[in-house]
Amino acid sequence: MKTALVLALAVFASPAFAGEITGKVDVTPAKYLAETIVYVEKAPGTFPPKTHKMDQKGMKFLPHLLTVTTGDTVDYSNSDGVDHNVYSPDNEGFNLGMIAGGKTGKHTFDKPGTYSQLCSVHPEMLAYVFVGQNPFAAVVGKDGTYKLSGVPPGQYTVALWNSHLKAKGVDVTVGAGKTEANFSVKR
């Protein structure tokens, strides 16, 4: 009996039974769509830490939005010919100090939340790192669509983060196929 239960749990936890959440986000005014992330609020499991990249190039942080999971590290490269600083006043905050051109700094995010990425030398530089409890998060595409893959079967709240607008979460049940969650957000 125990063996059958363990086997059944292993089968349903396997990637073959993982689901996908897709949808579309409509944002008004449309200019705010570029700063939108869709994510699963809470999901069971442990998620091994990963390393992500954010570059400073052309006096911008690239990408403008980055999704990571608690425990992940971001390597901040400086591809410009001038020194940049990387800091965030949000949540527990951090300051990597000055990073010379061609060099890299890094920060590990230990708490979920959204962190603005700033350069004290160039105040026009701004980006965001969204740190989720789980890896099921995606930056919304230019057409408003998104896809969250590999979500284990279960009941979840799919939420939206936008730097300017708020939206209510959508409750979904994920099975082995596709589940849809759409958002319409207005100012």
Q: Write the pLDDT tens digit of every residue in 139-158.
A: 999 999 999 999 999 999 99
The DSSP code for 143 is T
Kindly tell me if the per-residue pLDDT of 11 is higher than 80. no
Quick check: pTM over 0.85?
yes
Mean pLDDT of the 122-146 span: 97
HEC sequence for 44-78: CCCCCCCEEEEEEECCEEECCEEEEECCCEEEEEE
The values of phi and psi at residue 10, to 5°, are -65, -40
Q: Are 2 and 119 in contact (CB under 8 A)?
A: no
**16 band by pLDDT with thresholds 50, 70 and 90:** low
Domain 19-186 adopts which CATH fold? Immunoglobulin-like (2.60.40)
Tokens of 144: 């408003």
Q: What percent of the chain has pLDDT over 70?
A: 91
Report the SS3 class of residue 161: strand
Sheet architecture: strand order including 137-139 = 137-139, 36-40, 154-162, 170-174
Q: Which amino acid is at 53?
A: K
Q: Which amino acid is at 73?
A: T
Neighbours of 144 (CB within 10 A): 16
Mean pLDDT of the 118-141 span: 97
**What confidence tens digit (pLDDT) does each residue in 154-177 have?**
999 999 999 999 999 999 999 988
Report the SS3 class of residue 17: helix
Tell me what pLDDT residue 17 has: 72
Q: Where are the domains of the chain?
A: 19-186
CA–CA distance, 159 with 55 (Å, rounded to integer): 27
Tell me what pLDDT residue 5 has: 37
Tell me what pLDDT residue 90 has: 97
Tell me what pLDDT residue 2 has: 46
Alpha helices in 20-175 (DSSP H): none
Average pLDDT, the chain: 92
Residues β-bridged to residue 91: none
**14 band by pLDDT with thresholds 50, 70 and 90:** very low
Kindly tell me if the per-residue pLDDT of 8 is higher than 60. no
CA–CA distance, 22 with 178 (Å, rounded to integer): 7
Tell me what pLDDT residue 157 has: 98
